[in-house]
Amino acid sequence: MGGLLLLSGLAGCSPLRLLQPGQRLLSRVKVEGLDKADPERLQALTQQKPNSTFPLPKLAIYQLGRKFYNPEKLQRKLEEDRTHYTQLIQAAGTDSVKVGKLLTKRDRHVRRHQLALDKGNAIMRLGEAPVIYDSALTRASVGQMETFLKSKGFFRSGVSATDIVPTKLFSPFRIFTLRSPFHTEPRRVTVVYRVQENEPFHYSQLDYDIQDTAVARRVLLSLPQSLLHVGDQYDEETIGNERGRIEDLLKNQGFYDFRSQYITLEADTSFAPTTVRLRTIVSKPTRGEHHRLYTVRRVNFLTDAGLVRFGQQRDTLVRNGVNYLAYQHKFSTRTLDNKLAVRPGEPYSLQNTQLTQRQLSNLDMFRFSTVTYRRVRGEEAPTDSTSGLLDATINASPAKKYQETVEFGGTVVAQQVGPFGNVRLKVRNVFGGAEVLEFGVRAGIEGQFSAVGQVDGVPKSVLTTQLGGNVNLVLPQFLVPWRPNRFLSQYNPRTRFNATYTYVNRPEYSRTNAEGTFDYIWQRTPYHQYVLTPIDISIIRTATIDTAFSNYLQRLLINQGSPLYRSFDNLYVPSFNATSLYNSNDFNETRDAKYLRLFAEVGGITRGLFQKEPLTNYRDEPKANRLKIYDFAKFTVDYRRYHKLTSDSYFVYRLSGGAATALSTTRIVTKDNREGGNVISDATSSLIPYDKYLFAGGSSSVRAWKPRRLGTGSYTQYKLNRDGSRRLDEKTGQPIRDYDLEQPGELILEGNVEYRFPVYSFIKGAIFTDFGNVWSIRNDPRPGAQFQFNQFYKQFAVGSGIGFRFDFTFLILRLDVATKVYDPTAPGNKWAIRKISLNENQTAFNLGIGYPF
């Protein structure tokens, strides 16, 4: 009965109560009759759109807020605040500081009340006011659609609009009030725009009328790059882009004064039906018969722009014809010269100007840098009316030499709260060649899930101590045995040396990791970056390991073939790798963009020079274990697509995959200790360093699973007793599943689909579905763990959920709540959605910074 009353109330809560007499609510907008025209572009031209119902019923939310809205009370409160603060300001007298603070408070209160008066309370602003139908806006929409169609070559098109009243509706909740769900509503309007396209016009001939022969020669030579072609459909947007292409072409070849206003295009449709003859006309300059071709005469580079010292002249150094001016030269002129694309004696080029600014900005040495030009006039100017000279001045203001960053905060990870602190120091131009040296020290206490869950009294989430430091040196060129060509500078080449040390102390073990890398970095375009790492060396040592924990890892290795035990080996990992990263998005992911990351790594291929088999492992004395080297190869790919649906809503999907495998087998003999130890095992296996395995699950993967806990394949993991048998539930007598053991894999396939939308102000929402899994490639004793072509598609785990993102522009905080829909590792029925709950093994809460992808 309660449910029936609730549904009856919902059925009777109509937004039409918000309308004034004579007003009608816009219910639907349809565009019909389209064949070749872009329906999305035409739909966007409609001046009125119905209230949004997905993913939030905005009009219903507005109605809810309206119940608590009292404009008279708000107006009264506004006047009271104004009077109150006016009295306080008068009482403050001549105290300017106090008056300033009171004015700020008054303005803040007034703005808040005025916002509530103008746009409603917070709940109303979360929703949408009813869209009142306006026939004048419909007529304006018709005009805009007709203009758009003609701009796309539909010269004989027409658009008409019809407002249909009453509107037919289907309201299922009406059946609970004993009424038919089908009904008509006379106060709702459906607007139908009917488009008659007719045949579009195409280019039958492209002509050029350019009186300046120097300009004509360059334009005609560039025709293979033209955006206009005979047979293409007439399109004013493409015509505008072609004007821009010709302008850029000429500006990059010395025509400093040229503007797109000199370019006009005339369309003639009188020759044959549905055809256009297009003529491109480049007119003469307002003065003279020819457009001037400018050459750069002199380049002056001020490396301390903005600094003034009265009575002192800047010192000048000359390199390759460029004058470098500074009161005190602090930057290597060779380094700066490699970044300059503007050179004396060369024709003016807009492209080289922009390239110079971008390369100087990439150095991270200057607060700003500008390139300006001055025409040479008077006696020094050429007498020829077709040519001119320019003096270029580059002004660069140095950034601070030292930049410190201190961060303190706390984390909530694995149900544990822990503080952390980071201190970073950046030193610019440390050796005078525009180098960047960075130091970092970090310390923190952070919660983490135990790699194997709760074992012998060790809780499955523990506080860990992490200490670390890093040193990073970036050189603004490739460090190679030969002198690099200036041509490479346009790709922003850099050489990076990096050294990192990390110490981790947990109740189960303590471990150190020292890593050093040598990288070459360059950019093909502003969106595409390459990283080549010919040297990547890691040394991982396990200083201590708890006996009970070690025994449990041994049981996992023996009974289930888990490679987790190998993660606590003492390892020497030499490798080389390469990365290609294309990303056309920005930091806040607000563009219609693409992302593609390719990564390949090969390691340990020279291990035969350093170690001989069999390798010996001492179970009870991890410090005594020698460094082991495993050879391996790894490849991953990550593709993301960001579709911008509206100004602030997006449809995003991600597809990712990868594989990691050993290149040869390794024989390891395990003993209990060094002094006459007993042989525990003697095995030959295909091993890779544990950190090189692939993992699924977590806040940027399949979010319904804990980090690194998804998989392997359809194999079900159970908790084990000391004797290796499965642990049974005392109540049901059934084996207890182990959700806490990390699941490394050699093959990974996963994907995500997400719809992002605005909720209120800086709060964004998301609805998502994730899928994926990891598998082993080689023969695996665990049933269902090995990748099989006829089975893998049945073994994808699926999770869905909702998310909230708090966008502070400079920082994005994220909360995603995901529940398991399909669990391939579940025994019996694998549709986990049937057991939906907030239990941590069914639903995961993911906190993070930034978007998940």
Query: Does residue 432 come out as left (phi exceeding 0), alpha (psi in the -120 to 50 range) or beta?
Result: left
What are the DSSP calls for 542-605, one per residue? EEEE-HHHHHHHHHHHHHH--GGGGGGS-EEEEEEEEEEEEE---TT--SSEEEEEEEEEEE-T
Q: Report the pLDDT value the prediction gives residue 182, as an integer from 0 to 100.
A: 66
The β-bridge relationship of strands 747-760 and 650-662 is antiparallel
Q: What phi, psi does 454 have (nearest 5°)?
A: -80, 120
CA 321, CA 345: separation in Å to the nearest integer? Answer: 9
CA 353, CA 371: separation in Å to the nearest integer? Answer: 7
Give the 3-state secondary structure of residue 221. Answer: helix
CA 469, CA 441: separation in Å to the nearest integer? Answer: 4
Q: Report the pLDDT value the prediction gives residue 431, as an integer from 0 to 100.
A: 93
CA 349, CA 141: separation in Å to the nearest integer? Answer: 43
The β-bridge relationship of strands 843-849 and 812-822 is antiparallel
Give the 3-state secondary structure of residue 72. Answer: helix
Residues of the chain falling short of pLDDT 70: 1-13, 166-185, 411-415, 449-460, 485-486, 560-561, 676-677
Q: Report the pLDDT value the prediction gives residue 181, as an integer from 0 to 100.
A: 67
Give the 3-state secondary structure of residue 620. Answer: coil
Q: Report the pLDDT value the prediction gives residue 5, as an integer from 0 to 100.
A: 38
- Token code pair at residue 243: 């004007």
User: Can you give 335-398 as a three-state secondary structure string?
Assistant: HHHHCCCCCCCCECCHHHHHHHHHHHHHCCCEEEEEEEEEECCHHHCCCCCCEEEEEEEEEEEE
Going by C-alpha positions, the residue among 473, 446, 474 that lies closest to residue 462 is 446
Q: What phi, psi does 594 have (nearest 5°)?
A: -130, 155
Please work out, in degrees rounded to the nearest 5, the angle formed at the alpha carbon of residue 732 by the alpha carbons of 730 and 735.
80
Other Cβ atoms less than 10 A from the Cβ of 433: the count is 14
DSSP state of 107: H
Q: Report the pLDDT value the prediction gives residue 3, as an integer from 0 to 100.
A: 41
| Residue type (1 letter), 782 | R
Going by C-alpha positions, the residue among 573, 563, 496, 488 that lies closest to residue 523 is 488
Packing angle between helix 71-92 and helix 96-119, nearest 10 degrees? 170
CA 427, CA 404: separation in Å to the nearest integer? Answer: 9
pLDDT tens for each residue of 827-852:
989 999 998 898 888 999 888 888 88
pLDDT tens for each residue of 108-127:
989 988 988 988 888 888 88
For 128-162, give one letter per residue: b (16+ CB within 10 A) or e: bebbbbeeeebeebbebbbebbeebbbbbbebebe
pLDDT tens for each residue of 93-105:
888 888 889 999 9
Q: Are 202 and 153 in contact (CB under 8 A)?
A: yes
- Token code pair at residue 88: 């306080």
CA 101, CA 128: separation in Å to the nearest integer? Answer: 35
Alpha-carbon distances, residue 720 vs 385, 434, 724 (angstroms): 91, 58, 5
Q: Are 206 and 230 in contact (CB under 8 A)?
A: yes
Q: Report the pLDDT value the prediction gives residue 11, as an integer from 0 to 100.
A: 40
Q: Report the pLDDT value the prediction gives residue 167, as an integer from 0 to 100.
A: 58
pTM given for the model? 0.84
Count of residues making up the chain? 853
